[in-house]
Each structure stands twice: as C-alpha cells, then as structure tokens.
Amino acid sequence: MSGLPFSNRTSLFNFYIPVAEYLDEGPIQFGQISNVQSSSGISFQDSILSSFSFPTGLPPASSQSVPLPFPMSHGTTTLAFMFQGGVLAAADTRSSCSGLVACPAAQKILPIHSHLVGTTSGTSADCALWKRILSRELRLYQLRHGRRLSTRGAAKLLSNMLHPFKGTELCVAATLCGWDGGDGCHDQGAKTQWTSPMCFDKKKVSFSGPSLFYVCSDGTRLQGTLFSVGSGSPYAYSILDQGVQWGLTVDEAISIAREAVYRATHRDAYSGNCVDVYHITSKGWTRRRREDLKEEYYREKERQSQERRETHAIVKK
C-alpha cells in the first residue's frame, strides 16, 4: 500500500474518510455505509485505499440501508437558467418533512464562493454538509493554485465525492451556478455583460462566461442552460420553457423566475412561503431582496382585474 499514490493521508481523496465515519457513528443511522470488513480488523480507510489498487474495484456503495424511523417525504422548488446578463437562480423557502412545515424561512440557495452558488434540493442536512465540504475543497484549491476552480471542475469534484454514497439514503440534488474567468471579456459598445466565450490573452486562452451544472447524489452530472429541481419543477418548467430567452433583461429574468416559483408553490404543497433570487455575473453573485409569495399573488390578481376591466371597456364600445 505504501507505493500507491493514494496511500498518503494528505491525499485529495482523504475527505471521504471523516464523512463516512461520521455517518457510521451517528445515533440514528440513516443508511450509512457500513464497514463490512470490520470483523477482519481492516479499517474503513484501508478498504477505500485497497479499492483504488485494483482497476475493477468499486467503493463500498452497495451496503445495506438502515430503514428510516419515519417517512421522509420532502419537496421543494428550485430553478436556475442562463441569459445574456449571467445566471439567475431562484428557490422557495419552505422546508418540509412529510406533512409538516419544518421551517418556513429556509435558505435553499447556498453561496459557495464569490462567483459560485448552488441551489439545493433533498435532505437539508445532507445539502448543508456537502456544501461546506465543497466550499472547503474549492478554497484549498484556490490557495494551492492561486486561482478559482471552474464551475465544471467544481461539478466534477462534487459528483466524484457523492458517487461512493450511491444506494444509501443520502439525498442531494444541486445546481451549481457560476461565472468562470473572473471579470471576463467586456465590449464597451455592447449591452450584454459578456460578448465572447473566449478571452484572448498573450499567454493563454481561457473560457469566460456563465456556467450551469446539475449534480445528483448518485453521481449524475449534467450541463445545460436551464434546470428546475424539486417536486414543484414540472409547474416551474411550464413558465420557464415559454418565458426564458437569451436576450432577457435582468428585470425580466427576475420576473419570470419569481412567477415560475409562484406557479409551482400554488400547485405543490411542499413549496411555498417566500422566494429567494440570486444573480451571478462577472463581478460575483448578488442576492435580491427576499419576497413573500403572497406579493406575487396580489400582483397576479391585479393583472387579472386589469384584463377584465379592459375587456369590459372593449365590449361597451
């Protein structure tokens, strides 16, 4: 084992070990990865390292899952899409557990660093834990290399960290919304905040612009321009598919995002309360004021009343 590149305890793969041990020693064991080799005196870390020594070896992700003490039905509505002004992320704030509203003011969009945020869907504790782990690893990467890891690299790192827990009760579905390339390329005569995906430098050529990736706890990693995750996502897609365009202004994008969350919360009982909106540009992320969804309800009623008045006026003429 001493000759393996992964045998060093300071390896980048060392973050697997404390997380698995924490789950294994918890008072309520929610589908932990059990140490199947504990009876033979082999530690969990040795089993992980031995799996890397054989090309056909896999992490111990097929262990038996411990049944939950009560049903963990939960839902949410999160969305993110790209447009000419950057990336916009929105989510409701209702945290539910079965038929109980556990928290009406939860934060489902978590900042990771200055140019990257993640929308979270799944178990709140799992999402918060893996967000902290990802933030730590990205900060260490920045200190070692003097630059931020790209959104694509962050998605790949998170996917690789979550894959060993496939088949357990771990439930994390995140959408990483970021801007790569720092300040990017700017055109003084253009209205958009970035004009070209390639920034030409004297020494190197690097990608600059918005990025959007979806990562699931089973290791799935997808790149796209529009994602909606959660139990209310089918209703949100009905608004996003017909309203999202590349040439949207910031105000129009925010209006569409809020309406999509409002429509989802109207039909989905697991989503509701307020809406959070984050805007990611070349200068970093900014958080919009949290707004109660009843304000969107009142605006919708006002629009309907205005349409009825205009219809009556036309009929009278």
| Catalytic (active-site) positions | 76
Measure the CA–CA gap between 272 and 54, rounded to whole angstroms.
48
Beta-bridged to residue 275, according to DSSP, are 92, 291
Residue 177 contacts residue 212 (beta carbons within 8 Å): yes
Measure the CA–CA gap between 293 and 93, rounded to whole angstroms.
10
Measure the CA–CA gap between 266 and 242, rounded to whole angstroms.
18
